[in-house]
Amino acid sequence: MDQIVYDMSSQSEAEPNIFIKKDWVSILDNQNGVYSSNQCVIDTSQLSNSNKWINYREAYLTIPFQLTLTGAALAPQTAATSCDYAVGLKNWYGSIIHSISVDLAGTTIIQQTPFQSLWNNFKLLTTLSFQDLRTMGPSIGFYPDNSSSWSYNTTAANGQVGITNNANLDVSPVVSGAFNSLETTNIGFYQRQRAWNFNLNGLAASPTVGGTPVATPLFSALITQSNLSAVYRSSIIKSAAGVWMCSVTSVVLLRHLHSFFDKIPLCKGVFMKMTLNLNNSVVNFTSAAASPASSSNIPITQNQASSQFPLGGVNPLMIASSNGVGQGAQAAFPAGTFILSLAVGNKPIDGTQLTAVAGTSGPLANITLTAPSYTFNPVYEQAYLSSPVRKIDYEDIYQYQVLNIAAGTQFNNLITNGIAGIKSVLVIPFHSAAPAVNGSISPLQSAFDTAGGGTTSPLSYLSNFNVVISGQNAIYNSQRYNYEAFLNQLRGENSINGGQLDGLSSGMISQIDFDNMYNYYYVNVERCLPAEKGVSKSVNIIGQNMSLVALDLYVFVSYSVSVSLNLFTGSRI
């Protein structure tokens, strides 16, 4: 502490001006606002031709999308049956992106890998701090789901079949009786909803005098919907009989999409072509009348046959719980059929919904890339260019799936015959789709399950687990216990100083999270002699499914890649 006081007293207040100007530049993608092909292409020609130094680490994508809910029985315009908290999104706006590929100067440097959002969600959970939730969380749609607020139903009589983690009414846990759940509310789901569901018809306050509510102005007394749209604030833009529509302006940082953008230094003249595959999704579901009439549980069933997930990826949509008075969907959906969709752009993609919204559209139609451009102080620019060719070391990922591992059985699966520069292996378990388990709906596509947004399927434990690299076990003694998997392998990975110093961020996954709904099996395998770095090695995973249901394992192998770049011309060397 004394040293800090001395250093602060000794330092000079003056700071050199390394840059003399910083401008933020936005460019549109090439889709002209049409995303029916579930794809977006962005090229950086405007930035490469600007003769400015671009910092892609600070760059971000602005992705406009519409949440649209329709149904003949819908009455979202009334307070008692409002839909504002009836639907929501899984964790992180980047879940909308199924995969990304990038070409640099005509050569592919980032391979297209399906289910990239699963890997990126894991990286965020192990990298961000809880303070980041306050400052960045609302912008990027990130707030982790509670790990022990889930429930499991095998019959639709209690609401939804399978795993649900969609209760957004803040209810204190019941501890007066036996055999209670650990938590009752998924605060993460609620926090993500309130980041975008601003409704002008909401009350600016709710005071009472002597216990009697006092009439107060609405938000619409302070601002108009057209002005909200003019500043691109996320808000509910249509709430009428049979239709509810919310326009969301989401932000995804490039460095959260791939490590290449986290490693690339300031450069000019770099031409890149980015291709994003998008998880546009349509969920058809049915709500049943409460039975008996006094029951507060209204079963809601997702119709997988008529739902649409064109890329077969993660369904970013969620429907709130209808189990209990006051839950988000308890009064929103009377008996009937409904459609909920997420469409990138400013219009719904479902034909029925497009007719229902009657010309209403969001204010922003195109995905945009925004990046800062810097102008150097000439003195510092000369020093920066003293070594214009830089080697950029980053990591790419390879993905493989091991499907339908029966309950209690052992597995030994080859993941890849050979990859050079292997850094880590991540195994993410989910319940296999089965009629008795989840109504034959994959957890990743369930609108009631948070799976795919950071959580795994709960209690999906693996024992006797190991990763075998070219015939050698990566873990000395095969991993048998949960505390081993968490403390020996997962804790501290991707965080500051590897979690070795108390007081610094060690990520957001705790032991209780791992024990419940964040069953990530992660192994760092990059420790080897330098001569072995470039040798291709095979990867096997072995273990035993300790769950009573079949599991699907989504396996990600990260490996090191490098590219040399001339920072002044943007050419690849």
Q: Where are the domains of the chain?
A: 17-110+138-169+183-201+214-376, 394-562
pTM listed for this prediction: 0.94
- Measured distance CA(144)–CA(133) in Å, rounded: 9
What is the mean pLDDT of the segment spanning 254-270?
A: 95
Least confident segment among 93-97, 118-122, 286-290: 286-290
pLDDT for residue 265 is more than 70: yes
Q: Is residue 205 very low, low, confident or very high in pLDDT (cuts 50, 70, 90)?
A: low
Instruction: State the pairing for strand pair 317-319/272-278.
Output: unpaired
Continuous H helices in 98-248: 116-127, 130-135, 137-140, 187-194, 225-230
pLDDT 10s digits, 361-400:
999 999 999 999 999 999 999 999 998 999 999 999 999 9
Place of tokens 């960045």: 136
- Measured distance CA(207)–CA(215) in Å, rounded: 8
- Measured distance CA(161)–CA(437) in Å, rounded: 7
What is the mean pLDDT of the segment spanning 175-198?
A: 86
**CATH number for the segment(s) 394-562:** 2.70.9
User: Hey, which of 330-334, 493-497, 549-553 has the most confident mean pLDDT?
Assistant: 549-553
pLDDT 10s digits, 109-136:
999 999 999 999 999 999 998 889 999 9
Cα dihedral 380/383/387/388 (nearest 10): 30
pLDDT for residue 69 is more than 80: yes
Q: Is residue 409 very low, low, confident or very high in pLDDT (cuts 50, 70, 90)?
A: very high
Continuous H helices in 394-510: 435-438, 482-484
Continuous H helices in 169-219: 187-194
Map residue 297 onto helix, strand or coil: strand
Place of tokens 């990922």: 397
The whole-number pLDDT of residue 292 equals 47
Contact call for residues 493 and 126 (beta carbons, < 8 A)? yes
Least confident segment among 158-162, 262-266, 342-346, 545-549: 158-162
Tell me what the pLDDT averaged over the chain comes to.
91
- The candidate with the shortest Cα–Cα distance to 290, out of 340, 337, 326, 330, is 330
Q: What percentage of the chain has pLDDT greater than the value 90?
A: 74
What is the mean pLDDT of the segment spanning 525-550?
A: 93
Q: Is residue 294 very low, low, confident or very high in pLDDT (cuts 50, 70, 90)?
A: very low
- Measured distance CA(499)–CA(381) in Å, rounded: 36
Residue that wins the pLDDT comparison between 535 and 176: 535
Q: Which residues are paired to 164 by β-bridges? A: 151
Residue-wise DSSP of 369-411: EEEEEEEE-HHHHHHHTTS-EEEEEEEEEEEEEEEEE-TT-EE
Map residue 219 onto helix, strand or coil: helix
The whole-number pLDDT of residue 90 equals 98
Least confident segment among 78-92, 171-185, 250-264, 434-448: 171-185
The whole-number pLDDT of residue 505 equals 75
pLDDT for residue 39 is more than 50: yes
Q: Is residue 172 very low, low, confident or very high in pLDDT (cuts 50, 70, 90)?
A: confident
Map residue 47 onto helix, strand or coil: helix
Residues shown for the chain:
573
